[in-house]
Structure formats: structure tokens, C-alpha cells
Amino acid sequence: MTSAVRLRAACALPLLLLASIASARQGERPMLLSPAKSTVAMQTITLAPIEAEALRAQRATTIDGALPGVIDKRLAITVNRRVAIDAALDGTWQVLADGTQVWHVGITSPGATDLHLGFQRYVLPAGARLWVIGAGGYYEGPYSSDDGDALWVPMVPGDSAMLELQLPPSARRDAVDLVLSDVGAGFRDLFKQVAATGPLTSGACNINVVCPLGQPYSNESRALAYYEFTADDGFGYICTGTMLNTTAGSTRPFVLTAAHCMSSPTEVASMRVYWNYRSAQCTPTSSWSFAQNQTGATLRATRADVDTTLVELNAMPDAAWRVFHAGWDASGVAPATSIGLHHPKGDVAKVTESRSSPRTMNNCIGTGGSSVNTHWLSGPYTQGTTEGGSSGSGLWIPSSDGAGLGRRLIGVLSGGNAGCSVSNPSQPDNGYDCYGKLSAAWEGASATTRLRDWLDPAASGARSVVGAEAATTATPAGLRERVAAERQAVSLRAAQRGVGARPLPFDPRTRPD
């Protein structure tokens, strides 16, 4: 197997049963976290090490063809390792006294700060359940046969992970086609076990979305998606997206983001989305959570010159998360001022303000070849800024708009040179950003390159729509099972019972050990 050392002799692997950062999509605990199973015979597969600090220093975000000083505002977070860890060939199987069949395997990527796992072959028989367990007892799962033909699991902390698959006694092992194909070795420390990226790491001039500047956009902040994906260039990235409404109502989970973030079906399929990732108060930043997450999406439309991509998530978010479907305006009329909502440097949701009217310009990051009047120029900012990780976020008409079109998205962030001031870090500098115009992305050669077919499915001709709460729809079986499990886990944690017992909301800085 490429870049891997297979340790064929089974070894006794001590488990990290620390009640620390275990707030995820947690349902029933895996067997590995049972107190009676503090060690288990397991094969461990070791991948090539990474140098996280060196990778953080190396990953420039300048795109060839960009204007001088301009960067795209993706944020690289992982080095992807292609593997082929097959439940039929690797790991260890055992049969419990009740007939349950259990498979385990360990993966280690020395130097990684967190791991991001993808299964491009994922077929399980009815009743099977899969968990991914990271450092400190943090786990994701259980996943089931209802989760589709491919599965990308939200991140887990640490440089090692363990997989546990349970089959009911009646299930046939040859009905399992489970192959771990991708291991993203993280180098940004998204759980902030040390410090690098994530909560509290964006520039000092950034403003939490719950602060007074962002309060008029409380609904729109619920449409904000922090997401990770594995790119075709072999790295994993963070970007921002926005759930959008349509002229036919909020019945489909369309998320708008930047094409320089994701533009291929394989990149979109690897999407892991986190909702309501924000501080509970204006200052200091506190009580954020990665718990509201879902995986997988389908590419609907992408256009390089305007730098826009529209995806449809594999499922509507759980209704309990109250994800908002934001309004938008594709008229191409510039508002007097503008607002931005985004996740800079993997941090909690932030808000920016520019008190000047957006101006028309070409694509500032140089993607898509010839680009004429495809972008809005925004900046300098009067409050807040953008950073790596903000790419794909929306430019908004402010709530005070005199035409009554406030709180509608008009553009998608490509990049720029805006940041916090070097001489006065609590204030923005004089830089600018460019945002792909919704009006420019509205038309295109076909449905795969334009937005109107998806956002105006009945061809009403409308080019502006107000935001709305999500329509009530049936939750797919796989997501329903995990959501129910997470709700049960929340009640257990609130009652201070079980391995997940800890205060809520989840704060990854809190380590009771």
C-alpha cells in the first residue's frame, strides 16, 4: 500500500478514554470505548509522517494570474493520503459471545493534528454500524447502510484513529464492501489542542457574528456553512458556503460557494459541512461546537470566470439545527454599502462591513481565463476583514437597504488582499476583496454552468428572493438515525453520565484530564 507500513502482527493498542473533547455526532458508544475493553488486539497501519509546522509555512494561497498582492482565500488544512484499507483484507475480526461480528483497524499518521477519513467504497449490510474514533475518546458514528455508496467522515482529533465495524450475527461478511480510500492528515490543528487554526485564531480585527454589527443578520448567520473538502490537488481545504432559498421555496439544500474551492464532482462528494459554528457571545469567543455536521453533496453548477459553484447536499440538515435558507439578489444593482458573513482561518462565524458601494471589476484571482465585469470589488472594510477560509462566503445587501432588498446575497468571495492592520491589529487595513457576482453567474451555456435553472426552477423570471426557514421534509434514514443518536447523547452529557459527560455547549479547549 502506498506510503504505508503495514504492521501485520496484531498489537495490544491502549485506548485513550479521556472524557475530553467528545462532542460530535455521538450515538451509542463503540465497543472500543467500553470500560471492559480498554485494550484490544488490533492491526495498526502507519502512514508517512508529516511536518505540520513546515506545511503551515509552505501553503501559499496565491493563484497564477491573480492581481499583484491578491490571494485566494481558501485555507489548506490537510495532506491527502490515498490508501486502500479493506475490511476484507486488513484489520482484525472477532466474534463476540452473542454472535456479533466486530472488525477493527488502527491508522496512524505521525505529526498530524487531526484526521479526515473518506470511504469511496462503502457498502454495508442491514444492521451494520461503523464508528471512527480519534484522540481523547472523540468519535463519529454510528454510520449505517443508509449512508450511501461513499462516506466522508467529519474530522477527528489527533494523529491516530481507530475504525470499528459491527455486524449482526446473521450478516454475511462477504456482503461488506468497505474500503478506506483517503486519509487527510491535518496540519492546522482544527481542534485547537495546541494553537494554529480554528477558534480564537483569526485576526484581532475580526468581529463575531453575534456582536451588534451582526445582530441584524441572525437568520442569515444560520445559513452559513463552514466546510472541509478534499481537493483534486491532493490537499484538503476549508472554505465557507451559504444555504440558499429558491423561487420555489426552501425544499432543497442548495449551498453556494466558490469554484476555486470546489469545482469537480469528486471534490464536492468529499464535502463535510458544519452548521451554527459560532460563539455564544460577542466577546470573548466561547462555547462553539462542531456537533451539527453532515457529509456529502452533488455538484449542480460551476463557472470558473465568475468563480461560483452550486452544490446540493445529500440530505436536508436536521430540522432541530434550524438552518436558514438565505435570500439572494441577481439583479446586478450595487447597494450603497455591504456586509460579509464568513469563517476566517477556520474560526467561528464573523461579520464584516464596508460603507462604500461595491464596484464592478474583473476576477481578481485570475481563474477562468477571460473575465469581464464578473466581480464586485468590496473594501476597504470599516469593520472586520476576511482571511484564508473565508473563500466562498457571501457579500450581502445590508439590512438598512432603502430599496427593501436587505439581507440578500449578491456575491461570493474569491480573494483579495484585505486583512487586519499590521500597525493596529484591532482594525482592518486598506485592502480589498473581490466577489463573484450572482448576476454574472445567473446565466451560462447550460444548467451545469449557470444558477438560474436551480434557484428559479419554474423559470418564473424572478431574480431576487427573500430568505426563508427550511421547509418541513422527511429526514433520510441514515441522517435520522444519527441525529436521534446525537440527541440521546446530548441528554446523557447534560445529565453528566457516560463517557461523553461534560458541560454543553461543547468547548474543545476544555480538557478535564
Strands 408-416 and 327-329: parallel
Most confidently predicted of 134-148, 195-209, 245-259, 361-375: 245-259
Do the Cβ atoms of 50 and 34 come closer than 8 Å? no
Find, among 400, 430, 415, the residue nearest to 336 by Cα. Answer: 400
Do the Cβ atoms of 109 and 185 come closer than 8 Å? yes
pLDDT tens track for 53-110: 889 877 655 555 667 778 888 899 999 999 999 999 999 999 999 999 999 999 999 9
Please give the biggest Cα pair distance in the chain. 71
Q: How far apart are CA 479 and CA 141, in angstroms?
A: 11
In this prediction, what percent of the chain has a pLDDT beyond 90?
69
* Residue bearing cell 450603497: 336
Q: Is 441 helix (H, G, I), strand (E, B) or coil?
A: helix
Q: For the stretch 159-172, what's the b/e string if a residue is b when 16 or more beta carbons lie within 10 angstroms of its beta carbon? A: bbbbbbbbbeeebe
Over residues 286-296, mean pLDDT = 86
Find, among 105, 150, 98, 94, the residue nearest to 132 by Cα. Answer: 105
Q: Looking at 104, 260, 325, 375, which residue is catalytic?
A: 260
pLDDT tens track for 479-496: 555 555 444 443 333 333
Q: How far apart are CA 172 and CA 319, in angstroms?
A: 35
Over residues 415-433, mean pLDDT = 95
Strands 375-378 and 433-437: antiparallel
Do the Cβ atoms of 214 and 351 come closer than 8 Å? yes
Confidence band for 498, pLDDT divided at 50, 70 and 90: very low
Do the Cβ atoms of 405 and 338 come closer than 8 Å? no
Q: Looking at 181, 391, 393, 439, which residue is catalytic?
A: 391
- The residues that bridge with 395 in the sheet, in sequence order, are 340, 411
Q: Is 391 a catalytic residue?
A: yes
Q: Secondary structure of the chain: what % helix, strand, coil (to 5)?
A: 15, 35, 55
Above 60 in pLDDT, residue 407?
yes
Q: Cell for 275?
A: 452548521
**Which H helix or E strand runs over 454?**
helix 452-455
Q: How many other C-beta atoms lie within 10 A of the C-beta of residue 99?
A: 11
pLDDT at 189: 86
pLDDT tens track for 147-198: 888 899 988 999 999 999 999 999 999 999 999 999 999 998 888 755 545 5
pLDDT tens track for 297-339: 999 999 999 999 999 999 999 999 999 999 999 999 999 999 9
Phi and psi dihedrals of 300, rounded to 5? -110, -45
Q: Domain locations in the chain?
A: 4-62+80-191+475-494, 207-469
Query: How far is residue 396 CA from its own chain's centroid?
Result: 21
Q: How far apart are CA 418 and CA 391, in angstroms?
A: 12
Q: Determine which of 128-132, 228-232, 506-510 has the lowest per-residue pLDDT on average.
A: 506-510
Q: How far apart are CA 390 and CA 476, in angstroms?
A: 30
Show the DSSP H helices in 277-388 as ranges: none
Q: Is 260 a catalytic residue?
A: yes
Strands 101-108 and 92-95: antiparallel
Q: Is 307 a catalytic residue?
A: yes
Confidence band for 499, pLDDT divided at 50, 70 and 90: very low
Q: Which CATH number fits domain 4-62+80-191+475-494: 3.30.470.10, 1.10.101.10, 3.40.50.970, 2.60.120.290?
A: 2.60.120.290
> Which CATH superfamily is 207-469 part of?
Trypsin-like serine proteases (2.40.10.10)
Q: Looking at 147, 307, 347, 429, which residue is catalytic?
A: 307
DSSP secondary structure string, 245-288? Answer: --TT-S-S-EEEE-TTT--SHHHHHT-EEEES---SSSSS----
Phi and psi dihedrals of 228, rounded to 5? -115, 155
Q: How far apart are CA 141 and CA 27, in angstroms?
A: 6
pLDDT at 380: 95
Strands 468-469 and 327-329: unpaired
Tell me what the pLDDT averaged over the chain comes to: 85
Q: How far apart are CA 421 and CA 41, in angstroms?
A: 54
Do the Cβ atoms of 238 and 228 come closer than 8 Å? yes
Find, among 193, 204, 262, the residue nearest to 419 by Cα. Answer: 204
C-alpha separations of 121 from 149, 164, 181, 283, 314 in Å: 6, 16, 8, 44, 17
Strands 44-47 and 160-167: unpaired
